[in-house]
Structure 1
Amino acid sequence: MDPNSCTPSGPGAYPSDCEVREGYRKIAREKAMHNNRSENWQVTLSKAKDIKLLLLDVDGVLTDGNLIYSHEGKESKSFNTQDGFGLRMLQDAGVEVGIITARSSEALERRASDLKISHLYQGAANKLIAYQEIVKKTGLKPFQIAYMGDDWLDMVLLKRVGLSLAPANGVLEVKEMVHYTTEQSGGHGAVREACNLILEGLGKYNELLQGYLTRC
């Protein structure tokens, strides 16, 4: 007898915890079998299978691109919690995360600390220099690195990495050159979508999902 199988509840009885968990697992299996991802997603998976580092721009990628200033002149940013959870899952799967941005912000420094992001480069007017430092530090090859950006300043890196990504709100020139453009916009789940793509390419997505389903 399968030790993981459930004994059916009697007629009229509420389902057991085991039956509820198995129901969730069945739904997850069925969704995996009937994958409705876009054709572009499927094609891009082959480029995601070797990724060991995801680098991100901030404004327009981790945020919606809006800048908010207080009366005192302090800048604040709004971050998406689902993006944050996706980055944590990516790190759990052994993928490092880094940020390269031309601006500097205390809010970003706090967010990066909360998410335990390995590489944080703020005030990087020349993003290529920061990228080269990270490559030297990690010893990774370009095909093992993914980068997500939304504007012209990001092009210098997008053309150098193994997996280039843009959010739906990215400028046309960027979206035309990347391997994959997310359905979601920056600050509204674009980074989470990119994380899911990489996790699926690595063969880790369903494993992580099952792990959370068994917590029910």
Structure 2
Amino acid sequence: MTPDTLERARRIRLLVLDVDGVLTDGGLYYGAGGESLQRFHVHDGAGIKAVMAAGIAVAVISARRTPAVTARMKELGVETVVQGEENKLEAVTEIAERMDIGLDAVACVGDDTTDVPMMRRAGLAIAVADARGPAVEAAHYRTSARGGYGAVREACDMLLLAG
């Protein structure tokens, strides 16, 4: 981690996470009845709980809407969950304003082009290891772990170490 990234991480009060490709591996799984299933990594959940315990707020924003996200975030105690929102920058801005947090104190974790606008405005932009080009270019930091395989835990650990 560079000194600039460490300094950015020290200012973070809100961690915003994309879902598909960040909290999950990006695969779309469907049950026999057509229901959408998603796989979450337990290490990511532990990281989320740890940053919340340290006083960093967590929000999740997804362009898709699935019951699995609602259930997992409820289990983790994440109260700010925005689903079905393609304009993630607008959602991040509204969440930060509601929490009275400047965008310079927001970290955004993303993996694809839909995440780039929020990443460009965030105080700390993090791309997962398997992120697509534009998200990588917008990032201040890139995890060594892939989305759905501990990338969120890595981002959380970085924030805790910087704290």
Q: TM-score range by the shorter chain?
A: over 0.9
Matched with 1:63 is 24
Matched with 2:46 is 85
Matched with 1:115 is 76
CA distance in 1, matches of 2:130, 2:98: 31
Structure 2 unpaired stretches of 5+ = none
> Which ranges of 4 or more aligned residues in structure 1 deviate by more than 6 Å?
none
CA distance in 1, matches of 2:62, 2:55: 23
CA distance in 1, matches of 2:98, 2:42: 29
From 125, 128, 140, the equivalent of 1:167 is 128
User: Cα distance, 1:134 vs. partner?
Assistant: 0.3
Contact 2:93 2:103 (C-alpha < 8 Å) held by counterparts: no
Structure 1 residues 79 and 41: CA distance shift in structure 2, 3 A: farther
CA distance in 2, matches of 1:163, 1:144: 8
Structure 1 residues 51 and 133: CA distance shift in structure 2, 3 A: same
Does 2:114 match 1:153? yes
Matched with 1:48 is 9
Q: TM-score, normalised by structure 1?
A: 0.73
Q: TM-score, normalised by structure 2?
A: 0.97
Larger relative contact order (C-alpha < 8 A, sep ≥ 6)? Answer: 2
User: Cα distance, 1:63 vs. partner?
Assistant: 0.4
SS across alignment from 1:121? strand
CA distance in 2, matches of 1:42, 1:200: 13
Structure 1 unpaired stretches of 5+ = 1-39, 203-216
Matched with 2:142 is 181
How high is the sequence identity, in percent, across the aligned residues?
39
Which amino acid letter does the alignment assign opposite residue 79 of structure 1? F
- If each structure's strand is expressed as a fraction of its own residues, which one has the higher value? 2
CA distance in 2, matches of 1:132, 1:82: 28
Which amino acid letter does the alignment assign opposite residue 119 of structure 2? L
Which amino acid letter does the alignment assign opposite residue 44 of structure 2? D
CA RMSD of aligned residues (A): 1.0
Which amino acid letter does the alignment assign opposite residue 101 of structure 1? S
SS across alignment from 1:159? helix
CA distance in 2, matches of 1:166, 1:41: 15
Larger radius of gyration: 1
